[in-house]
Amino acid sequence: MAWDLIANVVISGVLTGLVYGLMALGLSVIFGVVRVVNFAHGEMMTIAMYAAVVLFAALKLDPFLAIVPVAAAFFAFGYAMQAGLINPFITRPEHSQFMLLVAVALIMVNGLLLAFGPDARNVQTEYQLESFALGPLLFDKGRVYAAAAALAAAAGLFAFFRFSLTGKAIRACADNYLGAKVVGLDVKHLYALTFGLGSVCVAVAGCAMAILLEVTPQLGPAYTLLAFVIVIVGGLGSMGGALVGGVLIGVSEAMAGLFIAPSAKSMFSFGLLILVLLFRPQGLLGRKQ
């Protein structure tokens, strides 16, 4: 097998993996802080993809520009969902929270099916067909832009958590719920804020992904599982881990697709999840809990 074919596949995997990583980052932030398993994560991403498709179809709005309104809408939605729906469930048993989001996911997937039908939809821009050439290596323009958007969003999130006061407050809630309350932080509001931020990640990732793939309602559950694989492999509570995990999964899926069979690529991810859950549950970069 020619090395430049492999190299191109790896590059493609890395770029796609960064978008996966952003999606997983949203989940990691939500899971890490609010401790809620957002089983509707992939479904939310699918909704974002559909939003980009619809905006493109109606207004000829490039998906990367659509990021702004979609992200704003998702922030509001995420905040509302946490504040309204999930907050009362924080004290309930785990399987209850889980099932709550399973129900939401179920409604989302089938709502999309109702609204858009099962056929695939996509966005068609000019730059999707072009690529940058670097010697024998080809970088798809669409993928590069998508990865750039993902990196920008991730960087923004890192900066927020590192440098802003609210970011530090959220980290405090994650580290010590009771302590944060004692210090006077409005934990419920901060949780909702976190969910909103996680949703923004999903929105950006979704718009970026709309450039790369066709969207069908069934992508939702697949992405949810993928996000969990990445978060667990990369390490819970580690934001860098989510990105690294995303790239790892992106590359391994691409390689599995090349060497085994395209339809088997997810098998590798699930196998990896099983191994990680059993032997290194804190993931590659996570903290041992």
Return residues touching another protein (CB under 8 A): 37, 85, 88, 92, 94-96, 98-100, 102-107, 109-111, 113-114, 117-118, 217, 221, 225, 228-229, 232, 261, 263-264, 266-267, 270-271, 273-274, 277-279, 281
Q: How far is the CB of 149 from another protein (least distance, A)?
A: 28
- Nearer Cβ to another protein (5/277): 277
58 sits in which H/E element: helix 41-59
Comparing CB distances to another protein, the nearer of 30 and 149 is 30
Query: Which amino acid type is present at position 38?
Result: N
CB of 76 to another protein, least distance (A): 20
SS3 call for 258: helix
Residue 23 or 172 having the CB closest to another protein = 23
Using DSSP's 3-state secondary structure scheme, residue 137 falls into strand
Widest pairwise Cα distance in the chain: 61
Least distance (Å) between residue 236 CB and another protein = 10
Q: How far is the CB of 92 from another protein (least distance, A)?
A: 7
Of 66 and 192, the one with the shorter C-beta distance to another protein is 192
Nearer to another protein, 136 or 262 (CB): 262
Give the H/E segment covering residue 134.
Answer: strand 131-134
Rg value, the chain, Cα? 19
Q: How far is the CB of 237 from another protein (least distance, A)?
A: 14
| Shortest distance in whole angstroms from residue 159 CB to another protein | 30
- Judged by CB, which is closer to another protein: 152, or 264? 264
Pairing outcome for strands 137-140 and 131-134 = antiparallel
Q: Measured in whole angstroms, how far is the alpha carbon of residue 95 from the centre of its chain? A: 23
Q: Measuring CA to CA, how many Å separate 14 from each of 73, 246, 284?
A: 29, 8, 17
Tell me how far apart the alpha carbons of residues 180 and 263 are, in angstroms, rounded to a whole number: 46
